[in-house]
Amino acid sequence: MLSRFEQRCREAFGPDRLRRAVALGALTTFKVGGPAEWLIQLQSGEDVRRAIEIAAEAGLAVTAIGGGSNVLIADEGIGGLVIRIHGGDAEALGSSRIRVDAGLTINGLVRWTVSRGIAGIEAWAGTPGTLGGAVFGNAHFRGRLMSELVRRVRVVSGDGRIVDVDAAEMEFDYDFSRLHRTREVVVSADLEVSEGEPGALRAIARDSLAFRKRTQPLESPSAGCVFRNPGPGDSVPDGIPPSAGALVDRAGLKGAREGAAVVSPAHANFIVNEGGATARQIRALIERCKVDVHARFGVTLREEVVYLGYPELDMRSGR
């Protein structure tokens, strides 16, 4: 017999959208992670709102994921309802602003804007994940922050209300937004853009993608950069760049491994899955990097990657 929760989901989304005990590793860029107790893939803001409302009535925790980058899902999986927000579109709101669905991939957004002569997003070519995740973590690349483009964010609150939040109220900081604190779920964002020439924009996008291919181990599963770069308050020893990758490298950890999890020889701020790695192995290697860097240089590395399915860390929103 169907539970009240299952029945409500069937009524709202059809008989086949809600699935039970779905392995999540295939939905992440790390390619690791246990099952979701319940999983549903949605796209529209109204559907996300309704799913959160139904889960709240059933007393189920909600975890939102997008493209599955920048997250480490526990081997035991995630309890409650996992909403995968994936797919969507963008629309122009005049000549200087666009509205983008949270589930649209950054690369899809780059293609959409470049083809229409819309400037502002092209340098983000090659960025993994979705717009929702980029807003959640205030994604950064070559000194630029996603928050520089964001003007308004539409979110769903924990009790199922759709709320528009101005950028000034998003509490954006390096690798941070208010969403870490509030557990609100992004469903769309308004970005400031300008006009551009498609050929020139395409050249910038190609340059950004080439830079990533030169400097990052894109051929292996990873979550992107594992650690945040040191901030102004961190005392990095003279002669070492204020870079998490440089600190891990100087600590002699390039190539270090735990099982099939390896600190990338190409970029020490990446941990790659050589095939069959577990979340437990990856987390152990993260902790080893933190311990060794602190012992060697006195610098405390802080994770950029978001842990999901770890009750002691309680982070329920990811990219």
Model confidence over 147-160: pLDDT tens digits? 999 999 999 998 88
pLDDT in tens, 11-42: 999 999 999 999 999 999 999 999 999 999 99
Going from the C-alpha of 287 to that of each of 271, 293, 308, the distances in angstroms are 12, 10, 16
Question: What is the structure's pLDDT at 232?
Answer: 81
Question: What is the structure's pLDDT at 280?
Answer: 98
pLDDT in tens, 164-189: 999 999 999 989 999 999 999 999 99
CA 213 from chain center: how many Å?
20
Q: How far apart are CA 190 and CA 308, in angstroms?
A: 27
Mean of the pLDDT values across residues 239-245?
A: 94
Question: What is the structure's pLDDT at 319?
Answer: 41
Is it the case that residue 317 has pLDDT exceeding 50?
no
pLDDT in tens, 104-144: 999 999 999 999 999 999 999 999 999 999 999 999 998 89
* Conformation bin of residue 21: beta by default, left when phi > 0, alpha when psi is -120 to 50: left
pLDDT in tens, 196-210: 999 999 999 999 999
Cα-Cα-Cα-Cα dihedral sign, residues 151, 244, 317, 82 = positive
Question: What is the structure's pLDDT at 231?
Answer: 83
Is it the case that residue 249 has pLDDT exceeding 90?
yes
Question: What is the structure's pLDDT at 105?
Answer: 98
Question: What is the structure's pLDDT at 143?
Answer: 85
* Confidence label for 318 from pLDDT (cuts 50, 70 and 90): very low
- The pair phi, psi for residue 89, each rounded to 5°, is -150, 180
pLDDT in tens, 45-101: 999 999 999 999 999 999 999 999 999 999 999 999 999 999 999 999 999 999 999
Residue with more model confidence, 177 or 315: 177
Bridge partners, residue 40, by sequence: 83
Amino acid at 61: A
* Confidence label for 312 from pLDDT (cuts 50, 70 and 90): confident
> Percent of the chain, pLDDT > 90?
92
Cα-Cα-Cα-Cα dihedral sign, residues 62, 227, 173, 95 = negative
Bridge partners, residue 192, by sequence: 97
Q: How far apart are CA 45 and CA 186, in angstroms?
A: 8
What's the whole-number average pLDDT of the chain?
Answer: 95
